[in-house]
Structure 1
Amino acid sequence: MSSLCPFAKVVTAGGTCPVKSDKNTSAASCPIKSQTNTASVCPVSGKTHTGTDHKETSAHAEENNTDPRMVPAKCPFGYDSNTFKLGPLSCMVCQALLHESSKCVPCSHKFCKACILRFKDCPLCGADIEGIEPDDELQALVDRFIDGHARIKRSHVAGAEEVTGDKNKVIYEDVSMERGAFLVQQAMRAFRAHNIESAKSRLSMCSEDIREELKSSQDNQELCSQLGAVLGMLGDCCRTLGDATSAITYYEESSEFLLKLPKNDLELVHTLSVSLNKIGDLRYYDGDLHSARSYYARSLDVRRSAVKEHSAVASQVIDVATSLAKVADVDRNLGNESVAVEGFEEAIKCLEKLKLGSEEASLEQRRLSVLDFLHKQLDDK
């Protein structure tokens, strides 16, 4: 999956990127509906809350010179952006929120269906698994927990219009992007643990949220960036599941959104070029060499443009050499040997001119690996 975090800009201060690390989570807050002097029901726990919570929050807001009607969304379980814990709603195997919750028979320990199907005895207690039963009640609680995160969303402008007739109406902050970071984090945990269906489910929810936001803000570059990255991850899930057709569809849509963005963000450029290369790879393995070359060439064009602006960035130079090698390899398979040799030689020159310091050991290893491949290709001509 992509190394780009589509929600890096919305992670709270002191938090950690949910895609690059899962040690410090960046979960979304869970909204509780409340109005002054009015009891309300939490969408997650089902518990009734009185207007006391609202009064306390309003007082706090006044101390910070903000509109007392604008209150942060709260979670009845005490989970906020910095202290989210999964607890009984998590799977011990993949460490993500339960997906298709299933119960072992006879020990009754619960895991994701995809996770527990790999075992013959319970990972928690070691008891032999005689059967696996779905736990619909627990899964319903997990779904309500997710649904409670940032589902109450109103823009400040729309909220201002709403309060004209009711001065006591509470307007919740729009925390939809925190929900997105939370879902991406859960997807990455599941993906790393090979629970691909769970990862795909969380990413699908995230993409739906962003699409909804884009309906009222079509030119929002940050939303386009986030959706492009999430669609690329969905493509990775489909590719892992062996669904090449759906993978290509997601990668192509990801590229469409990323192409709308300025090319001065190297991470976005890298994500775009990788998506194009992945489509090329799938076309290549399917035997459609002309289509594969077309996507490889598009990726190469993106990387050439980036390296012109950032010639001192070693990773960009290696990316260009890698794309040159892909295009040249297809040219050789298409019978264009002289063109292929030119491509291999150009890639070798790029890498031989690149000098890396001792602190760039990982890049040096990658450079040498690509260089070794290129020399072997020329030896085989």
Structure 2
Amino acid sequence: MQWSDYTNGQRIKILRGEDVRQSDLAEMTGLSIVTIQKAEQDKQFTLPTLMAIADALSVDTSVILGQQAPRRAMRRDDRMMLRALSQAVHDTAAGLLPDSIEAPAEARLQDAIDRCWNLYWKGHYTEAGAITAPLLAQAAAHLHTQPVGEQAEAWGLLADAYRLAAYVANLVGARDLAYAAIGHAQSAAESSADGLRPALVASGRSWVYLRDARLPAALALAEKAAVDIEPRFSKATPEQLTVYGSHVNFAAVVASRMGDKDRAAAFLSQSHATGARMGNEHRAHGTLFGPVTATTQAVGINAALGETGKALALVDAITDTSQLTEAARNRYAMDKAMAMADAKMWDASLDILEKALTEAPQWARHQALPGVIVQKVDRASTARLRRVSKLIGVRPGIDGFSPATRRTAL
């Protein structure tokens, strides 16, 4: 059934889910349990009731009325996080801070930003977004306490907080919020003293473009961001190499989604050279890069280009991914599964996919790629396929994916 095929009452019941009872919803809204029961039975549904329930469930009234479907894999805690994050992004940009906000010291604020990035790269997107919301207000308050002429570093920290908000919003499909947050990040980054931050924001905007299927714009911006910060290898710091390597790697990803083999190969060559120069993985500005990242990312890039043999050869050469973040390891598992599906290695593909979905359910429910893989192995009608399909909520042979989804499933 389509979302619009349900009644208002059925939609309320679906949105509150199994974890929220009718009595819980009554307490959350301040309505009587009888009113909640009648609303779910479509017997009584006034505008005040609609607005109270929508607010409690953290959705727009249009979602309850069936005019707009809820986002895929969006649970109540996701919706609450997204609403709080949206308010924080827009209020902070407008200079509206809570009266009770305290400005933390620079070191404490940097630690909080690092913790948020760690959560993000573990695949704990809801938790990362929930922490980023108050972090934005704290970063803005910290900026306001700095003397005029000494605000550059504070602007950089605010840019990092906005970029975190943009990444979380983009990953969960809140595209408008992602565009707003990355725009505010750009303004803050341009006022910072760090020449790498504007390029990091540009790369983030390129990712928003990619998820929005604006592939030519994504590639142009990714290329420019990489060129702007290209270091001299003989003098480059690990931090510079980390940021540059992640940029050229992402440019290769975008080129592969456009089917441009030559440009993807050129960027991959730079990515591998940067990783080799570094020798091991390094963290900087909320990202991780090194030789292992370069090689594992190349698997997905080659798979996207239809170079299945190259992708599988790289898989055979990769023996240790322990230096990667959890999200990066999970993504690599998806890329392996995709390459194996393309090679018609159905069972091996499903084994890897099922393992990743089971071990990292929080990460997996925000990913589109598992559904694409299931569609590829659909002809292998097995019990394993049915188990995997159930894990991601996709019905083999029924739920399709558009070409844009296949290209931009990151």
Per the normalisation by structure 1, the TM-score is 0.43
User: Which is richer in helix?
Assistant: 2
Compare relative contact order (CA 8 Å, sep 6+) and give the higher one, 1 or 2.
1
What TM-score do you get using the length of structure 2 for normalisation?
0.41
